[in-house]
Amino acid sequence: MSLMRVENINKVYGTRKGARKFQALKQINFEVHEGEFIGIMGPSGSGKTTLLNILGSIDRPTNGRVFLDGVDIASLKKKQLAEHRIKNIGFVFQDFNLLDTMTLKENIILPLAIHGADVHTIETRLQKLATDLGILTVLDKYPYEVSGGEQQRAAACRALITDPKIVLADEPTGNLDSRSGRALLELLAQINRTYNTTILMVTHDAFAASYCQRILFIRDGEIYHELYAREDKQQYFDAIIDVVSVVGGESK
């Protein structure tokens, strides 16, 4: 079943008078199905973050439309948009983006608190997720008091706590060493499987991409290629490397 439909998206930076125009995205079209784990790859500056921001309604496309569950995001008013962001979308950022002023627990419940959920709902959801993600013991610590992996899991927890329809992750492994990176990918895959959460992940890393069921390759703001997961993991990985070497962009 189609969850998100992206139709003819264009993004031009510098639309204000006098600014130099730059087209970051050109005619992007694709669909995301419910429960999918999709990767987006491409060289630096190709427009991945731009695309993700548009999908997450943080940014608006210059033209084109994004449908989530059949609703055109562009038609939403400012207030509805904020609500939509909280209810439907979970974000995981590269630098975690946890607030240093809050404990992990407070960070995690933040979206629900903003949404105005009652204490009971908040507590029960928090307990379940924190147990599943194994950060129950560090909930009362501050971000700078815990490891990078724990921070990343807390960030994932925050993305999931509202039970979003889709999780958007921008280079979530970028700041982690390979072991923590792998752990996080396992986690995302597990979340994808157990909660049937739809995940869209931007990555530079071919290994990380190999966790995805489908990979979109972007070059110069256009979708250049699409790859589907194969039975054989090594073969899939090699195929990704092949495309990357053509598209460009570093692999670790």
Ligand X SMILES: Nc1ncnc2c1ncn2[C@@H]1O[C@H](COP(=O)(O)OP(=O)(O)OP(=O)(O)O)[C@@H](O)[C@H]1O
50 lines the binding site for ligand X (CB under 6 A): yes
Residue span 28-67 as binding mask against Mg ion, x where in contact by CB under 5 A, dash where not: ---------------------x------------------
Alpha-helix runs per DSSP H in the chain: 48-55, 78-88, 104-115, 119-133, 148-160, 178-194, 206-209, 233-247
- In this complex, which beta carbon is closest to ligand X, that of residue 13 or of residue 30? 13
Closest separation in Å from C-beta 4 to another protein: 18
DSSP calls for 97-165: ---TTS-HHHHHHHHHHHHT--HHHHHHHHHHHHHHHT-GGGTTS-GGGS-HHHHHHHHHHHHHTT--S
Residue span 10-49 as binding mask against ligand X, x where in contact by CB under 6 A, dash where not: ---xx-------x-x-----------------x-xxxxxx
Residue 55 and residue 38 in contact, taking contact as beta carbons nearer than 8 Å: no
Residue given tokens 């073969």 in the structure block: 235
85 lines the binding site for another protein (CB under 8 A): yes
Closest separation in Å from C-beta 176 to Mg ion: 16
Under rule CB under 8 A, which residues in 34-73 are in contact with another protein?
56, 58
Region from 15-23, 29-37, 90-98, 218-226 binding another protein, contact rule CB under 8 A: 90-98
Residue given tokens 């038609």 in the structure block: 75
**Distant-in-sequence, close-in-space partners of 138: CB < 8 Å, separation ≥ 6:** 104, 145, 146, 150
Closest separation in Å from C-beta 113 to ligand X: 30
Contact residues: ligand X, CB under 6 A: 13-14, 22, 24, 42, 44-50
